[in-house]
């Protein structure tokens, strides 16, 4: 059975991400694991008592109740629901249970807020993307819940270690008969190398049977170029393969104030090349 881990704090943003996933996988056999992670709070005189004070058992009871409500709503589907609560940081716990539970996909909300709230939510999403061994689907708070018919794969044309790296993208594109736009953003004045051209041909073969087109752009602000393309081509889903030492690494790094994932209303599928 396909397993989807849904980190949640029961906020509107987290519930929106869950609803997006429920719509995306309708008519499929999927187990959704509602997962909450919380740190043991440290109290000070000027810090209000957080929801974490409810404790592990109470949070588990609340999530179990949410799962039971979902079972009743989706009684006639092939969905199943379970829950998990762990103490500790979200990224640490996600990383530790992915293999244990054989998770296929992580779906979580992300919101481009300002101030302290934006820092916390943005860094959580980025941290999970960085540590997860499976694909992560990040859902912005304003993302429309709909079937993705146009997808953008922003590639660095460095090649993939194996075809399984982009299997989540291929599966979604095949299921929804989506058109995949492949964009490669070059540095200003730089031409495509032979190795990059070969990588593009391999990618073309991997997408055989899926409607797709290649697009090449150049410029200094690669995040802005991708964001502009998303907005001008009515893209429903952005797919990337984050790597160290490239512009995706810079985009996801918490020190960068303009995170691509937080500046678009379009869901982002982050796939990982572990080879």
Residue 244: what pLDDT? Answer: 59
pLDDT at 136: 94
* pLDDT tens digits along 147-164: 999 999 987 766 677 788
**Cβ count within 10 A of residue 52:** 14
Q: 78-110: per-residue pLDDT in tens?
A: 999 999 999 888 888 998 899 899 999 999 988
How much is the pLDDT for 253?
A: 46
Give the model's pLDDT for residue 193.
66
- Give the domains, in start order, of the chain with CATH numbers: 2-140 (3.40.50.620), 150-270 (3.40.50.620)
Averages of pLDDT over runs of 10 residues in the chain (275 residues) are 93 93 95 87 52 70 95 96 91 90 93 41 72 91 93 80 88 95 78 66 86 86 81 92 60 44 76 78
Name the pTM for this structure. 0.85
């Amino acid at each position: 059975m396909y397993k989807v881990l849904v980190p949640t704090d029961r906020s509107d943003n987290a519930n929106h991400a869950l609803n997006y996933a429920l719509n995306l996988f309708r008519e499929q056999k999927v187990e959704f694991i509602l997962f909450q992670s919380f740190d043991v709070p440290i109290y000070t005189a000027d810090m209000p008592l957080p929801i974490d004070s409810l404790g592990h058992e109470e949070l588990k009871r609340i999530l179990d109740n949410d799962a039971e409500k979902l079972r009743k709503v989706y009684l006639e589907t092939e969905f199943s629901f379970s829950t998990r609560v762990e103490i500790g940081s979200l990224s640490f716990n996600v990383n530790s249970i992915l293999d244990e539970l054989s998770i296929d996909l992580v779906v979580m909300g992300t919101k481009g807020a300002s101030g302290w709230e934006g820092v916390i939510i943005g860094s959580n999403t980025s941290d999970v993307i960085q540590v997860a061994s499976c694909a992560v689907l990040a859902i912005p708070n304003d993302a429309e819940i709909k079937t993705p018919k146009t997808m953008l794969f922003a590639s660095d044309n460095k090649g993939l270690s194996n075809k399984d790296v982009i299997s989540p993208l291929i599966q979604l594109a095949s299921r929804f008969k989506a058109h995949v736009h492949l964009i490669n953003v070059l540095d200003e004045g730089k031409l495509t190398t032979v190795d990059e051209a070969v990588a593009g041909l391999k990618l073309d073969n991997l997408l055989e049977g899926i409607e797709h087109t290649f697009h090449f752009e150049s410029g200094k602000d690669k995040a802005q170029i991708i964001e502009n393309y998303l907005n001008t081509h009515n893209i429903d889903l952005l797919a990337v393969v984050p790597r160290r030492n490239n512009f995706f690494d810079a985009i996801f790094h918490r020190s960068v104030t303009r995170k691509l994932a937080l500046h678009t209303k379009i869901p982002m599928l982050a796939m990982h090349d572990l080879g």
